[in-house]
């Protein structure tokens, strides 16, 4: 999965730190990221790469580290006109290499999006400022504190003997088969959320709900919590047509391998195909 970057180590601890020349610059504009073209592909530029530009270091804000290299976000800068810089859409990180930098790029974008969407206090309209002791934004007028936007969502592999339930979404760009998933409501446990989403989307009951793995999914500011479950009773699917265009039971042989297992949903589908769940 995208966060499985071993032997590299991700360190998200909050820090106030000055950049060094070998640290990385993440510059985002809306849903694009600045990359540097190098040979066949792209790399994330360092402060060294950008040394010809106006001094970026005073404007840089520490994000996190991977191993001994820090990543900084520089919001207020212009992309250099020369030298091979490009603004690319964030989906590039679905296939970007090396994987630990794909993870850095997409994770940084989630922090950037949170900053951009919380520039003013939702309570009093005051200007938000960066917290000094933790990753937070604090209102300069009323003191309201905002923490990073992370929305929990469940995803579940529902088994019926040797068959797996898969579905296709009715809307959106993603057209491949997927597992049942949905956002956790206020006041709901993850297990209750699994039961509710499965009932709403395909009209089925489930039992033996077991935690599988979780996954930060920065593309949608989500933390996916993966589960397995068994069908409980009637296997007749009643589709919620607003959300799904089709759903059905598939044998292990019928489960399609999509090749790139960066999501917990794909890993669950592969685990079912391989007979490990
Ligand atoms: Zn306020």
Query: What pLDDT is recorded for position 170?
Result: 73
Residue 71: closest CA among 39, 31, 33:
33
Q: How far is the CA of 129 from the centre of ligand 1 (A)?
A: 11
Report CA(147)–ligand 1 centroid distance (Å).
Answer: 14
CA 137 / ligand 1 centre spacing (Å) = 11
Q: How far is the CA of 128 from the centre of ligand 1 (A)?
A: 8
- What's the gap in Å between 27 CA and the centre of ligand 1? 28
Tokens at residue 177, please? Answer: 């088969």
What is d(CA 149, CA 118) in angstroms, rounded to the nearest whole number?
A: 10
Task: List Cα–Cα distances, 79 to 85, 89, 107, 185, in angstroms.
Answer: 7, 15, 21, 40
Residue 150 pLDDT: 97
Average pLDDT, the chain: 93
Q: Which residue has the tokens 């001094």?
A: 55
pLDDT of 22 reads 97
Q: What is the whole-number distance in angstroms between the Cα of residue 30 and the centre of ligand 1?
A: 25
Share of the chain above pLDDT 90, in %: 83
Q: How far is the CA of 91 from the centre of ligand 1 (A)?
A: 34
Ligand 1 geometric centre to CA of 28 (Å):
26
Q: Would you state the pLDDT for residue 173? A: 66
Class of domain 10-116: alpha beta
Instruction: Give the other-Cβ count within 10 Å of 90's Cβ.
Output: 19
Ligand 1 midpoint to CA 133 (Å): 19
Superfamily of domain 151-273: Nucleoside Triphosphate Pyrophosphohydrolase (3.90.79.10)
- Among residues 190, 195, 164, 163, the alpha carbon closest in space to that of 179 is found at 164
The answer to whether 10-116 and 151-273 have equal CATH topology is yes
User: How do residues 59-117 score in pLDDT, each as one tens digit?
Assistant: 999 999 999 999 999 999 999 999 999 999 999 998 899 999 999 999 999 999 999 99
Q: What b-and-e string marks burial along 245-264, b requiring 16 or more CB atoms within 10 Å of the CB?
A: eebebbeeeebeeeeebbbb
Q: What is the pLDDT of residues 238-265, one digit of tens each?
A: 988 787 778 999 999 998 876 666 789 9
CA 249/CA 107 separation, integer angstroms: 34
Query: Does pLDDT of 20 surpass 90?
Result: yes
Mean pLDDT of 14-34: 97
User: What is the 120 CA–ligand 1 centroid distance (Å)?
Assistant: 8
Give the separation between CA 68 and CA 64, rounded to whole angstroms: 10
Does residue 127 contact residue 140 with C-beta atoms inside 8 Å? yes
The Å distance, Cα 126 to ligand 1 centre, comes to 5
CA angle centred on 82, ends 81 and 83, rounded to 5°: 135
How much distance in Å is there from the Cα of 149 to the middle of ligand 1? 18
**Hey, where are the domains in the chain?**
10-116, 118-148, 151-273
């Amino acid at each position: 999965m995208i966060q499985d970057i071993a032997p590299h180590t991700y360190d998200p601890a909050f820090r106030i730190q000055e950049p060094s020349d070998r640290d990385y610059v993440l510059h985002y504009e809306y849903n694009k990221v600045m990359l540097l073209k190098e040979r066949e592909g792209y790399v994330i530029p360092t402060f060294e790469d950008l040394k010809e530009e106006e001094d970026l270091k005073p404007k840089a804000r520490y994000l996190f580290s991977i191993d001994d290299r820090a990543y900084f976000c520089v919001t207020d800068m212009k992309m250099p006109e020369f030298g091979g810089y490009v603004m690319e859409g964030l989906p590039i990180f679905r296939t970007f290499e090396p994987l630990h930098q794909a993870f850095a790029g997409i994770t940084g974008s989630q922090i950037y999006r949170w900053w951009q969407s919380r520039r003013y206090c939702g309570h009093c309209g005051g200007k938000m400022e960066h917290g000094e002791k933790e990753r937070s934004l604090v209102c300069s007028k009323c003191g309201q504190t905002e923490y990073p936007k992370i929305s929990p969502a469940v995803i579940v592999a529902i088994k019926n003997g040797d068959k797996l339930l898969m579905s296709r979404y009715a809307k959106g760009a993603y057209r491949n088969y997927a597992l049942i998933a949905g956002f956790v409501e206020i006041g709901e446990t993850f297990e209750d959320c699994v039961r509710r989403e499965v009932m709403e989307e395909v009209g089925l009951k489930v039992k033996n709900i077991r935690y599988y793995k979780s996954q930060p999914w920065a593309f949608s500011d989500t933390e996916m919590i993966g589960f397995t479950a068994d069908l409980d009773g009637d296997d007749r699917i009643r589709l919620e047509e607003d959300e799904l265009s089709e759903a059905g039971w598939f044998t292990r042989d019928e489960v399609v391998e999509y090749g790139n297992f960066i999501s917990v949903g794909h890993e669950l589908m592969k685990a079912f195909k391989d007979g490990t769940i």
